[in-house]
Amino acid sequence: MVVDQEVPTRPLVAAMAVGDRAPLVATATGKSILAFMDPEAVAEIVAREGGAPSTAKRRGTTDLMAELARIRAGSLATNDEEWMEDISAIALPILTPEGAIASIAVAAPTIRMTKAWLTSLEPRLRAAAADLALRMGGSVDHLAS
């Protein structure tokens, strides 16, 4: 569920409204949280949400599980047009002793998600995730990539 957002100043935006929901298996925020959930709960969610793809780029279960393992190892969670065409995102989980309680993400039109932009954005996203996790009494070990 979206709890806050920054509205960009450029005319082409990727935005959800506060209160909107999206499938965990097809969004960067969802995958960043799924990666740190109990495997049985993940299997249940994948069975429920992993059916017909939202877009042609939706990943299969095997690819999704491999991505979740990379996220647990410190990689960014990604969404490359898996939920909405022309929209991509990157995300990191906010971990506390209770687990992944939230996620921080940047979503944008895919055309703007250049490698140079992502390279400049990743350290800032990691710093913001670390700040939030520490404020909530959580861990930052998974963010040191």
Show me where the domains of the chain are located.
Answer: 24-143
Which of 104, 32, 22 has the alpha carbon at shortest distance from 68? Answer: 32
Task: Report how far residue 72's alpha carbon sits from residue 34's, in angstroms, rounded to the nearest whole number.
Answer: 10
DSSP state of 60: P
Task: Report how far residue 142's alpha carbon sits from residue 145's, in angstroms, rounded to the nearest whole number.
Answer: 8
- The predicted pLDDT at position 81 comes to 87
The reported pTM is: 0.83
What tens digit of pLDDT does each residue of 18-34 get?
888 888 998 999 999 99
User: Does 24-143 carry CATH code 3.30.830.10?
Assistant: no
- Choice among 42-46, 50-54, 60-64 with the minimum mean pLDDT: 50-54
- The predicted pLDDT at position 90 comes to 95
- Pairing of the two strands 77-80 and 99-109: unpaired
Whether residue 56 is predicted with pLDDT greater than 80 in this model: the reply is: no
Q: Percent of the chain scored above 70 by pLDDT? A: 83
Host H or E run for residue 33: helix 28-34
What tens digit of pLDDT does each residue of 71-106 get?
999 999 999 888 888 889 999 999 988 889 999 999
